[in-house]
Amino acid sequence: MLSKKTKYGIKALVYLAKQEKRLPIQISTISQAENISQKFLESILLTLKKKGILGSKKGKGGGYYLLKDPKEVPMTNVMRLLEGPIAMVPCVSLNFYEKCDDCPDENACAVHKIMIKVRDNTLEIFRNTSLADLSF
């Protein structure tokens, strides 16, 4: 299951992607439009900024804005920034790999076997979907 943080983060990014101009949008504007707690959204956008996908401006007329063209932001990136691993088990994760304690041989593991398939499939979808694709 996706965390609320990820869900809200995606919604906010798509909201920003929908803007015609790349002007800063305030947190309060997004939180109202998307029914997200403002304080919670504040922390989410801040981490997205720290991770380099958003820019920000302080003071009047300030807010957050996308640093890249939405067409150039695949959902793989977004998911990894917000949720972390895309894989269902760490032992099949490309970017967040961890060995299982209980598993002496990954290649002999049934869970590994099927979760590799799920990962590849999900990854393909996220790779081929950009923020721009979700903005219609």
Partner DNA sequence: CAATTAACCTACTAAATCTATAGGATAAAA
Partner DNA sequence: TTTTATCCTATAGATTTAGTAGGTTAATTG
Nearest distance from C-beta of residue 28 to a copy of itself, angstroms: 15
Cβ neighbours of 96 (radius 10 Å): 11
User: Cα–Cα distance between 112 and 99 in angstroms, integer?
Assistant: 11
Compare residues 55 and 90 and give the one whose CB is closer to a copy of itself: 90
Smallest CA-to-CA distance from 78 within 43, 51, 98 is with: 51
Nearest distance from C-beta of residue 116 to DNA, angstroms: 20
User: Cα–Cα distance between 108 and 114 in angstroms, integer?
Assistant: 11
Which of DNA, a copy of itself, none is residue 117 near (CB under 5 to 8 Å by kind)?
Answer: a copy of itself
99 near DNA, rule: CB under 7 A:
no
Binding residue (CB under 7 A) for DNA from 18, 34, 56, 123: 56
Q: Binders of DNA: how many residues, by CB under 7 A?
A: 26
Which of a copy of itself, DNA, none is residue 28 near (CB under 5 to 8 Å by kind)?
Answer: DNA
Which of DNA, a copy of itself, none is residue 105 near (CB under 5 to 8 Å by kind)?
Answer: none
CA distances from 60 to 20, 24, 43, 56, 64 (A): 20, 10, 20, 12, 12
93 near DNA, rule: CB under 7 A:
no
Nearest distance from C-beta of residue 92 to a copy of itself, angstroms: 10
32 near DNA, rule: CB under 7 A:
no
